Chains A and B, each alone.
Chain A
Amino acid sequence: MLKTTTLIGGLFATLLCCAAHLNLPPEQVVVRHEAHDEPKNSIYHWMTTFSPTQQVLDFVAEHNIERIYMRMFDVDLIYNENTGESNIEPVATIMFKGEVPSGVEIVPTTYITYEALTSLRYHEEEYAELIVERILAMANYNNCGEIGEVQFDCDWTENTRKTYFKLLEHARGLLQEYGITLSATIRLHQLDEEAPPVERGVLMLYNTGNFRDIETENSILDVSDVKPYLRVKGYPLPLDYAYPTYGWSVSFYDGEFDSLVAGTEYEPQFSLEHVRHERPSVATILEVKRMTEEALGKPYQSNILYHLDESQLKYYSNDEITEILSRD
C-alpha cells in the first residue's frame, strides 16, 4: 500500500496553507536570459478577460508589439462572511478567451493591494511561493509560451517597504530556479526610495495626479506633476518607461469626488454633477518622455504603452503610437 518511507521523508517539507506544491517541468517556462533581454515594443494588458479582437491583433502586428505585460490576478485581502476571517487571496483572475498572438512574449504581472501587503507581513515566503506558483501555472495552462520575466505591481510606501521587499526577495529566489527575471513597477514617488530587490523596473508615468481633487487638471499625466520627481539623476535598477494611452471621466457631485467612468464620453447626469474628462495629449506624453530620458536616460529596453484596449487606443494615430514607443 502506501510507502511509509516516502511519506516520512516529506513530512516537514511542505507547510503551505493550501499544501499546493507546483511542479512544472522547467523546460516549459525557462527561456535563455539573453533572448529576453532584447528590446521589444511592449504594452500592458490590464483587463480581466484576454479576448483579442481583430483590431487588437492588427494593432499588435502593426506596431510590432512583441511583449505584453499581462495582469494575471490581483492579490487582495478578502473577508469571508462564513468564517468571519479575512484571507489573502487571488482575485479578478484573468480569463483567457483567445490565443496569445504568436511571437509575442508574455510577462505575467500581478497587482498586490495595500490591504494584502500589510496582512502578509511575516508570511512573505509563503505568499511569494503561492503567487509565483499560481502565475506560472496560469501561464503554462493558457499557453503563454516561454516566460522570461514576471512582474509585481504594488504601491508600496515607507511603511510597507520591508514586507514588500521580503516578498520580492523570496519571489526572485524562486523564479531564479527557472531562470526567470523578476521586475517591479516603480511609481514616481518611489524614485527617491531604496530600489526594490528585483532585476529591473518599469517606471509608471501615469496616474501622476490626485483624481479625487476637483482642482486637478489631469490626474493621468501632467508635466507639472512629473517634474518634481525627475530631479533624480539615475536609478539603481535598469528602467523601462510606461506611458498612458487611455482616458477617463472623473465625476464630481456637489464638489465632491463621486466616481471614475471609463472613457471620455460620459456627460453630467445631474445639475450638481461636474465631469472632468482626462486623456493625456500626445504632446504631453512626449514632453514627459523627453524629461524622463533627460533625467534617467533612455529606457533599458522599451517604452511601454498602458494599456491594450482598442476602445482607448483609437484616440491615438499610428504615428503617435510609433513616436511614443520609439527608443530613438
Chain B
Amino acid sequence: MKSLKYSLAISMALGAFVHEAEACGYTTYLPAGYYMYRVVDDTLPAHDISFAEENCLQWQQLTSEEIPLDHIHQVVYDMPLWQFMMLYDDSAGYFWTDNHFEQYIKYHDREVMDFLLLAKLNEELRAAHSSPWYYPSMRVEKYGYTLELIAEIAVESDAPRMRDRYLLQAIRALFTLGRYDECMKLWTEEAEKLPKDNVMRKLILPYIAGVECRLGNYESAMEFYAKIGDIDSMFMCARMGGYVLSMADAIAIAYRNCPDNPRIIEKLQRYVRDGENTYRGYGLEEEPRRLDPERRRMRNYAIEFASAEDAQHPAMWYYTAAMLYDMDNEPEEADKMLALAEQSEGSDFIHESIKVLRINVDARLKPYDRAYDKLLFEQLQWLDAKIRENIDEDVIETTASDGNLDRCVSYYYWNDMMRRILLAEVCPRMIDRGRGARALQLANMADNYLRSLVGYISEYVCSKGTNYCEDYETMTLEEYRHSSELHNYIDFSNDFFDMADVIDIEELVKYADVLEHPKGKFDEFLNARGYTDMDYIYDIIGTRYLRTMQYAKAEEYFQCMNSGYGYRLNVRLYNNPFEIEPTPYYAYGADFRYHFAREMAFMERYIATMEDSNRKAWMMLRYAIGMRNSFMECWPLTQYSYGYVGHRRCSGWWYSKEAKESIKHANNLIAEAIATFTDDEMAACVQYELSNFKTVATSYRHTRYGQIVLSSCDRLRDYRREFVK
C-alpha cells in the first residue's frame, strides 16, 4: 500500500475537478469540441457487461456447453422473480419457451434452480432494503423469506460446485444487512482464497471494499477499489475518510494497482475527454486553450507510466501525454511525445488514435506549403478510408435523422476527427495563409462527405419560412435539396456556408474555378467529397456581389444558374425593392436575385451615360432605394436568413462593419440623388414620398406638394431626416 499512501500524501492540496460534458438536449459545440482522445472503443459495451458475459460462460460450463449464452442470460439476468417462481414450482400458468437453459435446469439440475431462486430473492429483498421507504426496524420479507434467512442459507450452503456463487450471495445479503464483520470473515476464510480470475471473486471485491470503507479502514478500502478500478467509489471513500483525492491521482493509483483493468482506462478516457470539450461552445466566449493543473498532473503521470522500465502500455501513455500537451496549446511538446508513441508498443487501436493525433499536430505545426498539401492529401485519404470502412447502420441513421452532424456532437469517430481537424485547425490556417479556396474545399468535404455517403435524410421536415414541422419523412438528399417546399437545414447553416458567407469573394471565385477546373488529384479528391452543385456555389458568389454592390458581376454569376434555383432557398422576396415603403411584389419569382442584379446593373450603365439631370436623379434615386432595400426590407436579396436558423447563429456578415457601411452608402446615394434634382416640383415630390413634410413645407413651399402639405397640417416633421440635405 506504499504507493497509495504516498499518493494520498501528495494529493492533499488538489480537489476533484471534473467537467461533465453536456450530452443531451440540443447543446451545440464548435468543431474543436469533438472528442479526439481515444484509448478505449466507446462504441462497445462497457466492461460491466463483460462480467455478465463471463458469468454466463461459467454457467455454460457448469451446465451444458450446448446451451446458447443468450438463453442463459435471459434466465439469469432478465427473468423476474415471479416468473422464475412459476418455473421453479412448475406452476400451471407457466408459459414455456424454447429457452434451453430453462429446460435444462428444470429437468437436469435442481441445484442450479435452487441457487437461482435464492439469488433472485436476494436481489428483490436487497432492493426493498434500499428503498427510500425502508426503515431499519422493518422486517422485509418476500414469499416468507427475509434477507437474514437468505444470508443464513447462503452461508450454510454445501453445494461445492457453486460455493463461490453462494459466497457472493451471502456477502451481498450480509452487506445489505450491515453485518460487515461476517462479510470480512467470509472473505478472509473463503472468498479471498478463490482463484484471482474467478468471476465471483471479482464480483465480491466491491462489497469487501465497501465493508472496509464502512468499518473505517479507508486506505484498505481504497486499495480494494483501486484493484477493481472503481475510481468513483475511491472518491466516495476518500471523502468519508477525510482525504482529498484528485482524479488524476485516483486514476494513477488505480492504474498502479491494476494496470490491465479496462475500467481505469475507460475512466481515463472520460477524464481527458471532459477536458477536451470545455473549451468552446456556441454562445460562449472563446477561452484560452490551456490545461487545468490537475490534467497537467495527469500528463506527468502519463509520461512516468510510459517511460517506466516495465511500462505496460507505453504507446497509450505517450499518446495520452501528447494529447494533454496538445490540449495545453503546446503542439511542439505534443509532437515529441507523439513521436515516442509512434515508436512504442501498442495495439492497432491505439496506433490508429496516435495517427489521428498526428494529423492534428501536423495541421498545427507544418508550414502550409506544397509539401504539406501532399501530406494532408495522404492523411485525408487514410481518414476517408476509415470513414468508409467503419460506417454502420447506427452512423447512417444518426447522420440521416439527428442534428448531431450540424451540432458537432461526437458520434462517429472517423468523421468527427476529419471535421475537427479540418474545420478547427486546417481551414483557419489556410485562410490566414491566403489559401481560402483550399479552405473552402476542405470545409465542404468536412460538412458534406458523410452526408453524401449516407445519401438520404430522415427528419421532421419544416415548411419554408415557418416553424411548422410536419411528420418524419425520409427522402434522398437530392430530393431534400431540390424541394421548393421544405426548409433546407443543411446547406445554408453549415461551416462551409458560414465560411463562404464571409471569406474574400476572390477566394470564393477561385474556389468555383477549382470546382470546374481541378488542378490535380487532391482537387479532384476534395471536389468529389463536397457538395458542388454549381447553382448553389454561383448563388453564393452572386449574392456576395450583391452585398458589395457589384451588380454587373452578380448578374454574371446569376445568369449562369438554372432558372428556378431560388425556390430551393429558404427565403423569398415578397416586397418591391424599388419602393420606399414595403409594397408586395412577386414579379421577380424564384430568380429574384438575378432580376434585381440585372436591373441594378442596367441602371448603373444608364446613369453613367445620361445627361438630363432630373431624369438622371430619378434613376439614381430608384437605384439607391433598390440598394438600400436590398439590405433592409428586401434583405432576402443579400441574405440567406434573418436572425438565427435553428441552433445556428445567423450570417456573420449581417452584423459586420461592411454591412453597416453598405447601408450608409445607400443612404448617401439617396440624399445625393435628391440633391441632383434641378426641378423643385420633382424634388418636392420625392421629399413628400419620403414623408419629409417639414422640408417640403419650408424648402418647397412654392411647389404643388408644398401647398398640399401646408394646407393639410400645421405640426410638421421630417420622418426621414437622413435624406434631407
Chain A residues within 8 Å of B, Cβ to Cβ: 1-2, 4, 6-11, 13-14, 17-24, 78, 87, 89-90, 93, 130, 133-134, 137-138, 140-141
CA distance A8 to B137 in the complex (A): 27
The reply to whether A6 and B137 form a contact with Cβ atoms under 8 Å apart is no
Out of A4, A21, A90, A140, which one reaches B132, CB within 8 Å?
A90
Out of A17, A19, A89, A140, which one reaches B125, CB within 8 Å?
A19
**In the complex, given contacts A7-B85, A8-B89, A20-B133, what are 18 additional A-B residue pairs having Cβ atoms less than 8 angstroms apart?**
A7-B88, A10-B142, A11-B85, A11-B143, A14-B142, A18-B127, A18-B128, A18-B131, A18-B133, A19-B140, A20-B131, A20-B140, A21-B140, A23-B139, A23-B141, A87-B132, A90-B133, A133-B133
Q: 5 tightest A-B contacts by CB? A: A18-B131, A141-B137, A89-B132, A10-B143, A23-B139
With contact pairs A137-B137, A141-B137 given, residues A4 and B89 touching in the complex (Cβ less than 8 Å): yes
B135 at the interface (CB under 8 A from A): yes
Chain B residues within 8 Å of A, Cβ to Cβ: 82, 85-86, 88-89, 91, 114, 117-118, 124-125, 127-128, 131-145, 153
Q: Which one of A6, A8, A141 has the greatest number of beta carbons of chain B within 10 Å?
A: A8
The reply to whether A141 and B135 form a contact with Cβ atoms under 8 Å apart is yes
What's the nearest-Cβ distance from chain B to residue A70, in Å? 14
CA distance A186 to B253 in the complex (A): 60
The reply to whether A6 and B143 form a contact with Cβ atoms under 8 Å apart is yes
What's the nearest-Cβ distance from chain B to residue A4, in Å? 5
The reply to whether A130 and B142 form a contact with Cβ atoms under 8 Å apart is no
The reply to whether A19 and B118 form a contact with Cβ atoms under 8 Å apart is no
What's the nearest-Cβ distance from chain B to residue A3, in Å? 8
Q: Which residues of A contact B135 (CB under 8 A)?
A: 93, 134, 137-138, 141
The reply to whether B138 and A133 form a contact with Cβ atoms under 8 Å apart is yes
The reply to whether A20 and B114 form a contact with Cβ atoms under 8 Å apart is no
Query: Which of chain A's residues has its CB closest to B125's CB?
Result: A19
Q: Which residues of B contact A4 (CB under 8 A)?
A: 88-89
Q: Which residues of A contact B88 (CB under 8 A)?
A: 4, 7
CA distance A134 to B135 in the complex (A): 6
The reply to whether B89 and A7 form a contact with Cβ atoms under 8 Å apart is yes
Q: Which residues of A contact B138 (CB under 8 A)?
A: 20, 22, 133-134, 137
Q: Which residues of A contact B141 (CB under 8 A)?
A: 21, 23
With contact pairs A18-B128, A19-B125, A23-B139 given, residues A8 and B91 touching in the complex (Cβ less than 8 Å): yes
CA distance A2 to B125 in the complex (A): 16
**What are 6 of the A-B contact pairs (CB < 8 Å)?**
A6-B143, A6-B144, A7-B89, A18-B128, A87-B132, A137-B135
Q: Which residues of B contact A19 (CB under 8 A)?
A: 124-125, 127-128, 140, 142
The reply to whether B89 and A20 form a contact with Cβ atoms under 8 Å apart is no
CA distance A7 to B149 in the complex (A): 14
Q: Which residues of A contact B118 (CB under 8 A)?
A: 2
Q: Which residues of A contact B117 (CB under 8 A)?
A: 2, 7
Q: Which residues of A contact B82 (CB under 8 A)?
A: 11
Out of A7, A78, A141, which one reaches B143, CB within 8 Å?
A7
What's the nearest-Cβ distance from chain B to residue A265, in Å? 35
CA distance A2 to B85 in the complex (A): 11
Q: Which residues of A contact B127 (CB under 8 A)?
A: 18-19
What's the nearest-Cβ distance from chain B to residue A83, in Å? 13
Query: Which of chain A's residues has its CB closest to B139's CB?
Result: A23
Query: Which of chain B's residues has its CB closest to A4's CB?
Result: B89
Q: Which residues of A contact B125 (CB under 8 A)?
A: 19
CA distance A17 to B131 in the complex (A): 9
What's the nearest-Cβ distance from chain A to residue B82, in Å? 7
The reply to whether A8 and B85 form a contact with Cβ atoms under 8 Å apart is yes
The reply to whether A134 and B133 form a contact with Cβ atoms under 8 Å apart is yes
Q: Which residues of B contact A14 (CB under 8 A)?
A: 142-143
Query: Which of chain A's residues has its CB closest to B114's CB?
Result: A1
Q: Which residues of A contact B128 (CB under 8 A)?
A: 18-20
What's the nearest-Cβ distance from chain A to residue B169, in Å? 13
What's the nearest-Cβ distance from chain B to residue A273, in Å? 34
CA distance A253 to B324 in the complex (A): 49
CA distance A4 to B114 in the complex (A): 10
Query: Which of chain B's residues has its CB closest to A129's CB?
Result: B133
Query: Which of chain A's residues has its CB closest to B143's CB?
Result: A10
Q: Which residues of B contact A18 (CB under 8 A)?
A: 127-128, 131, 133-134
The reply to whether A140 and B133 form a contact with Cβ atoms under 8 Å apart is no
Q: Which residues of B contact A20 (CB under 8 A)?
A: 128, 131, 133-134, 138, 140
Q: Which residues of B contact A13 (CB under 8 A)?
A: 143
The reply to whether A10 and B144 form a contact with Cβ atoms under 8 Å apart is yes
What's the nearest-Cβ distance from chain A to residue B235, in Å? 17
Out of A22, A78, A87, A141, which one reaches B136, CB within 8 Å?
A141
CA distance A130 to B144 in the complex (A): 18
What's the nearest-Cβ distance from chain A to residue B139, in Å? 4
CA distance A4 to B124 in the complex (A): 17
CA distance A18 to B144 in the complex (A): 15
The reply to whether A22 and B85 form a contact with Cβ atoms under 8 Å apart is no
CA distance A87 to B133 in the complex (A): 11
Q: Which residues of B contact A89 (CB under 8 A)?
A: 132-133
CA distance A6 to B143 in the complex (A): 7
What's the nearest-Cβ distance from chain B to residue A278, in Å? 34
Q: Which residues of B contact A8 (CB under 8 A)?
A: 85, 89, 91
What's the nearest-Cβ distance from chain A to residue B178, in Å? 14
Out of A7, A130, A141, which one reaches B133, CB within 8 Å?
A130
What's the nearest-Cβ distance from chain B to residue A120, in Å? 13
